Structure formats: structure tokens, C-alpha cells
Amino acid sequence: MAHTVPTTTDTVPHVRSIGLADLRWALAEGWSDFKEHRGDLLMIGFLYPLVGLMAAAFALNGTLMPLLFPLIAGLSLMGPTVAVGFYELARRREQGLESGWTHFLDPWRGPAAKELLVSTIALALLFLTWLDVAAQLYQHSFGFNNALTIQAFLADMFTTAAGLQLILFGNLVGLGFAIIALAVSVVTFPMLVDRPVPAATAAATSLRATVHNPATIALWGLIVAALLVIGSIPLFIGLAVVMPVLGYATWHLYTRLIER
């Protein structure tokens, strides 16, 4: 049965102060949840590596090659949407409800679906904007080449001054997009799964939580980024474990950040 959500309310929740101990606790709880459900969720978790491999193959087959790294790195911007099912399973386990994989899509079938879709579209627009900016940065440095080979691309990027400058500046710009995505989503999606609030209220609460805990949220972002990189080596296979653990851990972090 889908998760039932009461009538939407605009009530603004209280944001708590959290620290390093809370991050450790959230990760430990995320790992605990994963161990309980790993038989079901390894199969679900493999969907994310598959998407990464498809994106890489798509980018390597033609003129999109310069967008290979921005495309793969940018997929993390959509992580909160992918993790909605993990938030739901963690919520159900927390409440002592049956929490098998059949409930993974419950939020998308319930009253919260519209607000989740609105938030997903916002992240998708951010993702597309990042790709557009990355493409413009590359073309500004090297122009447009529809016959680019991977060898020529790597030579441009790692053996020329323009390439090294692009790597530095591109990573700084990407960091900016990542900070925006983290600030507007760290609380948004778990909150929409947890309570009947509009997407705008959830996003505003996420921003308040980030502003109230800048160092802790920044550290959380670094932890997430590091685990995603580790999970991507080799061939994104590790993401089958990393994504569920981070999904569960983000839910538990939300329960510490927001007064329920």
C-alpha cells in the first residue's frame, strides 16, 4: 500500500544545530539499514551504475565527449531523486512498518508525488544548466570539433595550458553547482516523503538548515562526494552499495536536522 500523506500544510519546521557526531550517527544508521535490506536493494542500487555506464557510452560516442566528466559528475545532482525510495524504506523501518523493496516507489504513487516531481524538475534544470555551462567553457577554450577522438581530447585537457585552466575553472564552477544542489535538496526530498509540505517549503527549510549548519553540511557534502567517487571505481559498480547507504544516511541526517 502506498504511503498516505495528509493534506498539505505550509507549517515551517524548526531546524536544529548538528555536528560531526550526528554525521557519524547518520552514516552508521545508513549502513545498518543497508545491511538489513541489502538482498533486495542491491538490485535497485545497480540501476544507478547502469545509468552511469550508459551516460559514459553516450558521451564517448561522438561530439559529446567533452561532456563526459561533467555528465557523470552532474548525475550526482539527481541523487536525491534516486534516493526517494530509500528515504521511504528508512521511514517505514523507523516506524516499525513492513519495509521490503515493494514499498520503494510508494512516495511516487502517493499524495507527495506532485511535490516530488516539482523538486525533481528543479534539480533536472540545474543539471542541464551545468551541462550547458560546461559545454560553453570547453568551446571557449578549444572551439567545436565534431571529429574529436578520446586521445586528442585527453591531450588537449592534460598537456595544454588551456586544458589545465579549464580543469581548474571547470571544477570550481562545478563545485558551485554542487553547493547549490546540496543546499536545496539535503532536506527537501526526505521532508516531502515524511510530511505534507509544498516543495517550496521543503526547499526553503533545506536552505535554512544549510545556513544554520554551514560547516556540518559542507562536511556532509564532502563525505557524499568522496563516497560517490569511491563507488564509481571501477565502472560505477560500487554505487550499488554507496547509493543505498547514502540514501538511508541522508534520511537519518534529516531526522537530526529537522524537528518532527
> What percentage of the chain exceeds 70 in pLDDT?
82
Q: Average pLDDT in the 156-184 region? A: 92
The whole-angstrom separation of Cα 57 and Cα 43 is 21
pLDDT > 90? residue 241: no
Q: Which has the closest alpha carbon to 195: 111, 73, 138? A: 111
Rounded to the nearest 5°, which phi and psi values hold at 7? -55, 140
The whole-angstrom separation of Cα 77 and Cα 127 is 6
| Beta-carbon contacts of residue 233 (< 8 Å; ≥ 6 apart) | none
Give the residue, 237 or 210, on which the prediction is more confident: 210
Q: Is 34 exposed, middle or buried (0-12, 13-18, 19+ CB in 10 A)?
A: buried
Query: Terminal CA-to-CA distance of the chain, rounded, Å?
Result: 23
> In the prediction, which pLDDT does 66 show?
80
pTM over 0.85: no
